[in-house]
Every structure is written in C-alpha cells, then in structure tokens.
Structure 1
Amino acid sequence: MFVLVLAFDTATPAVTAALADSERVLAESTVVDARRHGELLVPTIETVLGEAGVALSDVTAIAVGAGPGPYTGLRVGLMTAQALSAALGIPAYGICTLDAVAYGSGLSTPFLVATDARRKEVFWARYTDPRTRVDGPAVDLPRDLPGDLPVVGAGAALYREVIGAERVVDTAPLYPFAGALAALAVERLGGPAPALDPPTPIYLRRPDASIPAPPKKVTV
C-alpha cells in the first residue's frame, strides 16, 4: 500500500514539517521561532513539498504533534491538520510530541523526555525504548522528575543544573523534529499497535489567557 505522510509539529518553539513514505523521510524543514508558529507553518509545509517534488494532493495521511505544549502554538498545528484533512479527504492523526522526541533520540535503554512547559516547569514522559511510553505525559517542576534516568529534550538542556548535568543527553534532539514524527507515523500505520489517535490536543493545564471577569458594579 502506498503511504505518503505529511507530518508537522508546533507544540514547541520548533516549527517543523516533513514528508515520509514507507521507506524513508523524503524532506524535512525546521525553523525555531516560538512567536511565529502561525506565520511559519504553511511556508514550511510548502518547502518540504517542493523539496520532495510532490503535490499536496499526493499526500495520503497527515500526522501532527498533539502536545503537550503551550496553548496557542499547539492549536496552530492541530487546526492546520484538521483543515487539510477535510480539504484533501484524507485521515489526520495526532501523536504525542514527546513520543517524537523519544523516537528521534536513538536511545535503547530507559530514559525520560522533557520539554519546556514555561512557568519554570517541564512536560515529561518516561520511555523504556524509543517506541514505548510507560508514564506520562505529565507536567512538573524539573527537580521533581522521577528516578535517575537519562533525560533528553529542550527541558533537560534548559534545567541542566537542576536535573543534574550527568543525566542530560546532549546527543539527542532538543525538539520533536518532524522527520522523526513522520517516520513514527509511517511505522504505526504499518503495524498492529499502538493505534494512532485522532488529532486532538493534549492539555495538561489551563491556558495562560482567560476571559476577563465582568466589571464590578459601582454604587454612588
């Protein structure tokens, strides 16, 4: 069966997109800019389509990072995935952003993935290998990460001294690069399990923005 997966993630400062078929990653592009997810995602998708020499209509499935991540950035990717799915008539799937970091880590022994959750916290999950998550995702202070396992990801690099420099794996990717996300999606589509989830957000806390309260009544 022919598979051509367009994958992208906006749950971290990295706006990243990639194309993969059943054999390899065909193209990948990443821009790290935490403030311009909405501006950068579509041009990044156009870049990988151009580099791969394929049309958007050739894509058979979409995989998007489902978080956890900051509310605004996360929604950009998820809404784009849902819009493309509807327009092209193809399925869209959500994959935990931490799973993409784990898949790209290359580690074969148990480890943690940690990304920056802001507010001096990290989003984290525990893995027995690059494909198998056994705990999380969760959000905690860096000092509260469980155990003494190696830690990969931007959260590990940011809080190196708190976590313990000896635990931080500098050779692993900081972000959920879309090449790993696309390859993981292709692998899951071709296997019996785990099944891919719908493109719904993984929220671990309420958004920073809130609806203002009504003004207080003033009596004379």
Structure 2
Amino acid sequence: MLLLALDTATPAVTVALHDGARLLAHFDHADARRHGELLLPAVDHVLRTAGRETSQLTDLVVGVGPGPYTGLRVGLATAEALGSALDVPVRGLCTLDAMAYASGLGAAPDESPFIVATDARRKEVYWARYADPVTRLSEPAVARPEELAERVAGVPALGAGARMYPEVFTGVRPDLPEHQSAAALAALAVHRIGVGSDFLPPRPLYLRRPDARVPSNYKVVTPR
C-alpha cells in the first residue's frame, strides 16, 4: 500500500504519505488563502521526501469537510484529478473524524464524550460529538456557538472553532489539534481499510449554501 492523504477543509493545507505501516512524509501549512497555490507543491514535496513516485500510489483519501466552499473544493478536485489520471480509487473521510482520531494519536481527551469544532466563518462553527477517537455520536453540523452553550459546556473540546469561543467551549483543550492533519487522515484511512469500514464518496460536505451567489436582481438596461 502507498496511500496519499490530503485535506483543505480547514485553513491548513495538509498532505501525507503512508505505506500502511507507518507515516513516510507529511506537509502542513496553515494559510486559508493559498490552498490552490500550495496543494500540488505539497504533494510533490511528500513524494520526493519519501523517495516515491505518483505511479506507485495505490490509494487516495481526501477530507470531505465540512468546510468553507472555496478551500474545500481545491482538495476534492485535486484528489479526483489525481485518482482519474492514475486510475487509483479515491475515498472520502469526514475532516472532523480525522481530527478526532488525531486526539488518540497523542494526548487523548481525559473524558468521553468530547467535541471537535472548526471555524465555519460567519461567526459559526462546524462541530460533532465523539465517544472516543473513532466513534462519532452525532452528525456533523453547523451552528452559532451560543446555540451550543448548554450542550458543550465543560465537555473536552478541540479544534480552531472551540479555541475561538472559549466562553462557550469551556472544556477546550489547547494541547489537542487546532487544524486538520493529513497524517491523522492517512492513519484513520489505514485503520478503516484494515477493519473493512465504509468510506464516504469524495464529495463536499458543505452543510450550508456557499458565500458566493448569483445576483437575483439585475438592473434592467433598455436601449435608447
């Protein structure tokens, strides 16, 4: 196995290469405005670092969000293009699931359940509740932090969304991941392949309409 994982659903541009037994190389850089500029060079970087070629890839996994429209589609379009060009299967994973899994790779939350929350912009967060690093208890959702106050108060929480609103996510753990990591995404994918778990299709999980919209009222201009 040679699995390439990538995700652009959070401000992080993150790519990792995994051989099924260990992480071979990874790249992580947080810059929400440069997903399109950084992603393919990051793919090239991890392959060169590991001394591997694209022709050796056997699997591709991509984070499907939830995440902002523009950044998320960069990773999905890239994964689909690579999969098509290389005739390699492309599998999707929820970005929040991989962040939850990352908590178990280091210092796991002291209690269960715990919350993963990322920045959804518009003063909202994408979030989900987990029983442990591999068991999600709720579907990913988008909400204003104040709407969640009673449900998340005191519950261990990780992610940039939780850090942005510590008055709501009072159990936020600053020692746990802030952004997505493709290293965790790759490790979770290897785990799921090993136990025969299902994957998501490589399609975006937006949860709401995009920020950019076609104007509904055009100014009528009549010839003189």
* TM-score tier (shorter): over 0.9
Which of 125, 145, 156 in structure 2 is aligned with 1:122?
A: 125
Separation in structure 2 between the aligned mates of residue 43 and residue 216 of structure 1, nearest angstrom: 43
SS at match of 1:162: coil
SS at match of 1:151: strand
Q: Which runs of 5+ in 1 are unaligned?
A: none
Give 1:99's aligned amino acid: D
1:176 CA drift (Å): 1.2
Separation in structure 2 between the aligned mates of residue 4 and residue 190 of structure 1, nearest angstrom: 14
The TM-score normalised by the length of structure 2 is: 0.92
The 5-angstrom pairing of residues 30-41 of structure 1 reads 30-41=28-39
**Residue number in structure 1 paired with 2:24:** 26
Structure 1 position 189 matched with structure 2 position 193:
yes
**Residue number in structure 2 paired with 1:212:** 215
**Residue number in structure 2 paired with 1:132:** 135
Give 2:168's aligned amino acid: V
SS at match of 1:161: coil
Structure 1 position 200 matched with structure 2 position 203:
yes
What CA deviation, in whole Å up to 9, does each residue of 1:99-135 have, x standing for no partner? 1110001226310100000011100001100011110
What CA deviation, in whole Å up to 9, does each residue of 1:139-179 have, x standing for no partner? 01112232432111011111112322xx0011111111000
**Residue number in structure 1 paired with 2:165:** 159
SS at match of 2:168: helix
2:117–2:125 Cα contact (<8 Å) kept: yes
What CA deviation, in whole Å up to 9, does each residue of 1:55-91 have, x standing for no partner? 0111101000100000000000000010001000010
The size of the alignment, in residue pairs, is 215
| CA RMSD of superposed structures (Å) | 1.5
Fraction of identical pairs, as percent: 57
1:8–1:65 Cα contact (<8 Å) kept: yes
2:152–2:169 Cα contact (<8 Å) kept: no
Q: Which runs of 5+ in 2 are unaligned?
A: none
The 5-angstrom pairing of residues 10-25 of structure 1 reads 10-25=8-23
User: Where has structure 1 moved over 3 Å in runs of 4 or more?
Assistant: 216-220
Would the alpha carbon gap of residues 143 and 182 (structure 1) be closer, same or farther in structure 2, given more than 3 Å must change? same
2:16–2:183 Cα contact (<8 Å) kept: yes
Separation in structure 2 between the aligned mates of residue 4 and residue 182 of structure 1, nearest angstrom: 10
1:143–1:163 Cα contact (<8 Å) kept: no
SS at match of 2:96: helix
The 5-angstrom pairing of residues 97-112 of structure 1 reads 97-106=95-104, 107=108, 109-112=112-115
Separation in structure 1 between the aligned mates of residue 16 and residue 74 of structure 2, nearest angstrom: 16
Separation in structure 1 between the aligned mates of residue 74 and residue 51 of structure 2, nearest angstrom: 25
Which of 57, 71, 74 in structure 2 is aligned with 1:73?
A: 71
The TM-score normalised by the length of structure 1 is: 0.93
Separation in structure 1 between the aligned mates of residue 220 and residue 84 of structure 2, nearest angstrom: 46
Separation in structure 2 between the aligned mates of residue 218 and residue 51 of structure 1, nearest angstrom: 58
